[in-house]
Each structure stands twice: as C-alpha cells, then as structure tokens.
C-alpha cells in the first residue's frame, strides 16, 4: 500500500495571499481616511468619542480576547448613522491606530462591517450632504487607486529578495510602503501604468537608468548659483562630445506628445538616444532620483498626479529654489552659530529646454509645456564622509510601520535601550530630547530670525546619528520654502520673475501655519505617537519635553508670540489634506484646522 502525498493547491494559497495583501492595503486606507476625517472634521464638530462605552456596540466588540484597545465611535447626525471601530493607540491629539474593520449602523438598521471602499463612499457622501454638494467621485477613484497600488507594492515586496541598498539614506527613502498617514489617498498615482509603477517606484526598491535625448546646445536653458554649471554634472553622468539631456522614464511619452518636440525631432535639433548609463535610485518623493556617480539628486518633472498634485517643474519654481539656495548659503556662516546641528541641502542649479526659437505663431502656447516637461532641479547630496559618520535616514522612515505592523522606531529604541542597560522610557526620552535639539533650533532660527519658512515635514527631514542618538538634521526641498517680505524686500529678489517673486513670499501668519504644522504636527507629534506606542505616561513626558525645548530656545534666542501661544496651550494649525482633495484645491491653497494643543490638557492637570 503506497501513500499518495497531496499536492499543494497553488490556486487556493494564491487566493489567500491575495486576500491577505488586500486586507493590509484596505487596513491602511481605513486608518488614513478615518484619521483625516477625525482630525479635520469630527473633533471640531464633537462627533467623535475616543473612548466609547455605549452598550449598543456590535456583539463582536464584546467578544474581545484582550482588553488593550479602545473603541472609537463616530456619529454622522445628518446621515443618521454611526461608525464604531477598535484602536490600540489613541494620542492626546486624537491620532489613532485602528486595528479592525469598521462597523456602520444606519437608523433602523443593524450594525454591519464595511470595507475600505464602502467607508470611503459613505464618508464622501456624508460630506457632500453636509456641504450641499455632489459627491467627489474623483477623490473616491483616487482612494481606490491608492488601495490598488498599495496592494501591488505589498505583493511585489513579498515576492522579491531584499537587496543591499546603496546607503542607509537610500534604504530609508525606499521604505515608505504606507505613505503619508494623514492623507486620504497616500499612494494614489494617476497617469502611469502598473508596469511602469513597478519599474520606477521607490516602494519596491526600484533602480533604473535615465532616458536621454541628444539636443542642440542653443536649446539648453540653465541657471546656477555656484561656479559649476549643471551641464558639468550632466556630463559626469554620461561623458559625451554631444550634449545629452536626461528625463525620467515616466515623462518620455508626455515629452514625445508635445508638438514643438515633434518639430525639433524633424529638424534634427533633438534626437532620441534612449536609456543610458548606470542606475539611479528613486527617493520617497518618487520623481527625485539619487545619482550615485555624482552623489547628488535630480528632481524631474513627471506628469503624474501623486496624492494632491501633478508633479511638474514650472520654471519659476526652479528659479526660486536656486535663488533660495544662494540666500541661505549667505546666511550659513551665521546660522551655524545658532543651530550647529542643522544643515540645508542646497539646490544650486536648474535646467530645461527652451524651444521658443522654433515656435511659429500657433505653436507658442506649447513653449511653457515643453519647458515644464524638461525641467530639472539639482540637489547636492550629503558628503560621503558625513554619510559614513552619521548613517543618515529620512525621518519619515523612522516614524512608520513596516509591512508586519511593527514600528521601526520602537524596535530601534528597544534595542539601543537594552544595550545601554536603560529602560525604554528612560532611553526614549533621551533620544527624543536629542532629536528636538537637532531639529528645532534650525527651524526656529531661520523662521524667526531670518524670515525663511521651510517645509520641515517628515519626508523633508534627514536625521544623522552618533551612538544611536540623533546628532544632525539635514532639511531639503527648497521649492516649498517661503520668504517673509519684512526680512527680504523685493529689491533683494530682483533676478526673479514677477511670478517667481509672488510665489516665494508669505506673510508671517502663513509662514507660522506652515512651520507649526510641518514641525509640530506632521513631524514631532508623529515622532511622539510612534515612540510612545500607546504608553500614556511616556506621551505626557515627551510633550513636556517639547515644551521645555521651546522654552529653552526662547531663553537662548528671543521670545516669540507664536511659541508663547503654544506653551500656553493655544491651538496648533494642522493642514487639511482630506478637505483639500475634497474641494479639488491646489495644495498651496490648503486650509488649516485648529487642533487642540496637548499642552493645554497638561496645564489643566498641573
């Protein structure tokens, strides 16, 4: 008698894998959407209970195996409905980490579970009802697109062997599987196929060569604020006698559709060369690529909508970034006295192709589009000896979860605390103090003393370490940096076009909104949320540490009304990503919610 071994049912196992990957993607979508809704709408309306104990919850909520979760209840009075869901973390800011499928109850009907797509449709229908508008089907589509792309990325990284990344920084750049935690569609990418996504997305650890054109030298338009023109950098990547010009692979089809480019091809002024040279590494912004040969970054145009915006490079934006690099470099020697652990990554050059010389009357409206297609901003990398010394990582990768739901920050801190023979609470407080000491003085000095408002969110913040502790901060992305006219009168910006000049100015209030949101909410509060991992006592300790750091900076530098307001517990502005997408507004026109300051709660108890 022989024993017949059963063959594994590959179809069934593949089905389970697909369901598990879909569940992870939907879980992230639910977390993002409900956190946005709570922060931007429900908190202000008093329509969320962060520790619900009403007796009418679904039976499944009472069949708990462990009791280390809180029940969140959202009410929707205009829709006569409620939602309940479990959370294993609830912060003082109302930020939650949700751990199960939400249950919805409409008036007269029983509770029933809803998936991410059903939740998105319900939330958007409710907001349309409240605002007296039609449902935003575009946003609904973007949320579904984000879910599909997240699932695609999970599937790819589950099946691939992890390769050794080029550096600690590039490894961190390519680790943002989930994306912006407070965005309704963090992985939405419209205008590119799934095959192209997998070929060029950082989330799947992609690397690829650039696509090149041979161009007539008279078409090149460049600007720079250092002795080395950007053409020198291009030639280092692919040394050739002819002028070669690169673009991102996703932009090739858009470029070739431009009438003026077609004309230049016919005239022999532009020739397609194709893919050349070594691989580049996409960073977390997707369109900014790291070029190892030159230890630099190139920020390309891509006519792809990533989350809020189509990421094309307008020339006036590139102009302003290069000018800001020059202005900041002039301040650097003085700034290092005030913030020695803080550096700004320079963006000293920009290029594009200008085909206005061949444009006939009817073709002139295409000149600007071509300039945007070919626009490149050049960013200096971190010097190799500093990379070796500090092993830098992007902050957005530190304060995030991996595919298994583990906090990378917590794992690192636990390991370091054990090695030092300290408790987690003791060491994490020390670590957080060091992080603030590297981050805040630079942000505050440049804003309050120099009138320069950076955009210091997690994705723009690079952290270097010594002995496991944060020791240096590099801030990047000057395209979004603004100036206050009180410090920088128009005559100092004479080289800018009128459009660039207008785009770079902010009022002090606008600048503070940007600084407060990016620094205190997007950056520091997320650090607290991850470091605490639900430990309420530790969360209070870290908010007090933030207050101490703000107070100490003012003692050393100067008292500022905005910082005093924070210390007194006044509300903190927080950017509205859901409402921006809902109203189809440009990202630059985003509104802000006034979040209840956790320090206010601590002051009440003291």
| Residue 195 maps to a domain | no
Q: Please tell me the least confidently modeled range out of 200-204, 405-409, 433-437.
A: 405-409
| Residue 163 maps to a domain | no
pLDDT of 6 reads 46
| Residue 28 maps to a domain | yes
User: Do residues 341 and 408 both lie within one domain?
Assistant: no
| Residue 357 maps to a domain | yes
**pTM reported for the whole predicted model:** 0.94
- CATH number of the domain enclosing 551: 1.10.510.40
Residue 123 has pLDDT above 70, yes or no: yes
Give mean pLDDT, residues 449-469. 97
The whole-angstrom separation of Cα 80 and Cα 392 is: 50
Q: State the average pLDDT for the chain.
A: 92
Residue 468 has pLDDT above 80, yes or no: yes
User: Do residues 119 and 237 both lie within one domain?
Assistant: no
Domain hosting residue 91, numbered range: 14-150
pLDDT of 3 reads 38
User: Do residues 318 and 410 both lie within one domain?
Assistant: no
> How, if at all, do strands 461-466 and 393-394 pair?
antiparallel
pLDDT of 233 reads 86
**Which tens digits make up the pLDDT trace of 273-332?**
999 999 999 999 999 999 999 999 999 999 998 887 889 999 999 999 999 999 999 998
User: Do residues 392 and 362 both lie within one domain?
Assistant: no
pLDDT of 505 reads 94
pLDDT of 2 reads 36
pLDDT of 1 reads 32
User: Do residues 360 and 396 both lie within one domain?
Assistant: no
| Residue 188 maps to a domain | no
| Structure tokens that stand for 352 in this block | 């594009």
Give mean pLDDT, residues 575-595. 91
- CATH number of the domain enclosing 19: 3.30.310.280
pLDDT of 128 reads 97
User: Do residues 397 and 285 both lie within one domain?
Assistant: no
Residue 64 has pLDDT above 60, yes or no: no
pLDDT of 405 reads 85
> Where does the pLDDT of residue 68 fall: very low under 50, low under 70, confident under 90, or very high at 90 and above?
confident
> Where does the pLDDT of residue 373 fall: very low under 50, low under 70, confident under 90, or very high at 90 and above?
very high
pLDDT of 433 reads 98
Residue 397 has pLDDT above 80, yes or no: yes
Identify the residue with better confidence: 164 or 374.
374
- Among residues 134, 150, 166, the one where a domain terminates is 150
Q: Please tell me the least confidently modeled range out of 235-239, 333-337, 399-403, 465-469.
A: 235-239
User: Do residues 478 and 521 both lie within one domain?
Assistant: yes
The whole-angstrom separation of Cα 210 and Cα 201 is: 14
**364 DSSP 8-state letter:** G
pLDDT of 283 reads 97
- Among residues 150, 185, 219, the one where a domain terminates is 150
| Residue 323 maps to a domain | yes
Residue 4 has pLDDT above 80, yes or no: no
The SS3 assignment for 406 reads coil
Which among 28, 23, 31, 26 has a CA at the least distance from the CA of 90? Answer: 31
Instruction: Count the domains in the chain.
Output: 3
Q: Please tell me the least confidently modeled range out of 6-20, 234-248, 301-315, 538-552.
A: 6-20
| Residue 599 maps to a domain | no
Sheet holding 305-306, edge to edge: 189-190, 305-306, 309-310
User: Do residues 430 and 401 both lie within one domain?
Assistant: yes
Give mean pLDDT, residues 429-449. 98
**Which tens digits make up the pLDDT trace of 490-535?**
888 888 888 888 889 999 999 999 999 999 999 999 999 999 999 9
| Rounded-to-5 percentages of helix, strand, coil across the chain | 50, 20, 30
pLDDT of 16 reads 83
Give mean pLDDT, residues 188-213. 94
User: Do residues 389 and 376 both lie within one domain?
Assistant: no
The whole-angstrom separation of Cα 497 and Cα 319 is: 8
Which among 476, 505, 482 has a CA at the least distance from the CA of 347? Answer: 476
- Among residues 380, 413, 429, the one where a domain terminates is 380
Q: Please tell me the least confidently modeled range out of 159-163, 364-368, 562-566, 594-598.
A: 159-163
User: Do residues 468 and 499 both lie within one domain?
Assistant: yes
- Cα 154 → chain centroid: 19
| Residue 237 maps to a domain | yes
Residue 401 has pLDDT above 50, yes or no: yes
> Where does the pLDDT of residue 9 fall: very low under 50, low under 70, confident under 90, or very high at 90 and above?
low
**407 DSSP 8-state letter:** B
User: Do residues 272 and 354 both lie within one domain?
Assistant: yes
User: Do residues 529 and 418 both lie within one domain?
Assistant: yes
Give mean pLDDT, residues 52-77. 83
């Amino acid at each position: 008698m022989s024993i017949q071994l059963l063959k594994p049912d590959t179809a069934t196992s593949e089905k389970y894998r697909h369901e598990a990957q879909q569940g992870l993607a939907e879980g992230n979508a639910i977390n993002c959407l409900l956190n946005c809704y709570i922060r931007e709408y429900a908190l202000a309306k008093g329509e969320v209970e962060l520790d619900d104990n009403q007796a009418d919850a679904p039976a499944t909520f009472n069949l708990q195996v462990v009791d280390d979760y809180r029940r969140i209840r959202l009410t929707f009075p205009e829709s006569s409905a409620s939602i309940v869901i479990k959370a294993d973390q609830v912060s003082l800011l109302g930020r939650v980490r949700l751990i199960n499928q939400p249950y919805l109850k409409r008036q007269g009907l029983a509770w029933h579970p809803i998936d991410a797509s059903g939740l998105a449709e319900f939330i958007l229908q409710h907001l349309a009802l409240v605002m007296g508008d039609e449902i935003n089907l575009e946003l609904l589509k973007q949320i579904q697109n984000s879910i599909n792309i997240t699932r695609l990325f999970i599937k790819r990284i589950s099946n691939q062997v992890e390769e050794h990344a080029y550096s600690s920084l590039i490894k961190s750049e390519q680790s943002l599987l989930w994306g912006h935690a407070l965005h309704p569609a963090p992985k939405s990418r419209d205008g590119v196929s799934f095959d192209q996504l997998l070929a060029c997305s950082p989330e799947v650890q992609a690397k690829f060569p650039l696509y090149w054109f041979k161009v007539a030298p008279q078409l090149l338009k460049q600007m720079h604020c250092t002795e080395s023109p950007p053409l020198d950098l291009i030639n280092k990547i692919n040394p050739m006698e002819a002028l070669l010009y690169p673009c991102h692979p996703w932009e090739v089809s858009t470029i070739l559709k431009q009438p003026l480019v077609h004309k230049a091809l016919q005239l022999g002024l532009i020739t397609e060369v194709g893919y050349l040279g070594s691989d580049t590494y996409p960073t977390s912004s997707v369109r900014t690529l790291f070029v190892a040969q030159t230890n630099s970054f190139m920020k390309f145009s891509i006519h792809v909508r990533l989350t809020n915006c189509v990421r094309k490079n307008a020339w006036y934006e590139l102009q302003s970034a290069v000018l800001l690099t020059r202005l900041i470099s002039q301040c650097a020697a003085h700034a290092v006295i005030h913030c020695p652990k803080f550096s700004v990554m320079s963006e000293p050059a920009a290029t594009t192709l200008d085909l206005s010389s061949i444009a006939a009357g009817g073709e002139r409206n295409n000149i600007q589009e071509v300039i945007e297609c070919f626009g490149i901003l050049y960013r200096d990398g971190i010097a190799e000896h500093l990379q070796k010394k500090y092993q830098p990582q992007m902050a957005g990768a530190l304060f995030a979860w991996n595919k298994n739901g583990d906090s990378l920050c917590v794992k690192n801190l636990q390991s370091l605390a054990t090695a030092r023979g300290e408790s987690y609470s003791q060491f994490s407080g020390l670590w957080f103090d060091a992080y603030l000491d590297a981050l805040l003085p630079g942000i505050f000095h440049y804003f309050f003393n120099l009138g320069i408002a950076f955009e210091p969110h997690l994705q723009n913040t690079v952290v270097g370490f010594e002995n496991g502790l944060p020791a240096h901060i590099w801030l990047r992305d000057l395209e979004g940096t603004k100036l206050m006219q009180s410090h920088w009168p128009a005559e100092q910006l004479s080289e800018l076009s009128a459009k660039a000049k207008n785009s770079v100015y902010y009022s002090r209030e606008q600048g503070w909104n940007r600084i407060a949101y990016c620094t205190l909410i997007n950056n520091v509060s997320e650090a607290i949320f991850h470091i605490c991992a639900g430990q309420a006592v530790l969360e209070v300790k870290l908010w007090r540490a933030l207050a101490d750091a703000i107070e100490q900076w003012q003692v050393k530098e100067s008292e500022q009304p905005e910082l005093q307001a924070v210390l007194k517990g006044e509300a903190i502005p927080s950017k509205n990503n859901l409402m921006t997408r809902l109203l189809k507004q440009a990202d630059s026109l985003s509104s802000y919610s006034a979040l209840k300051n956790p320090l206010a709660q601590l002051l009440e108890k003291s």
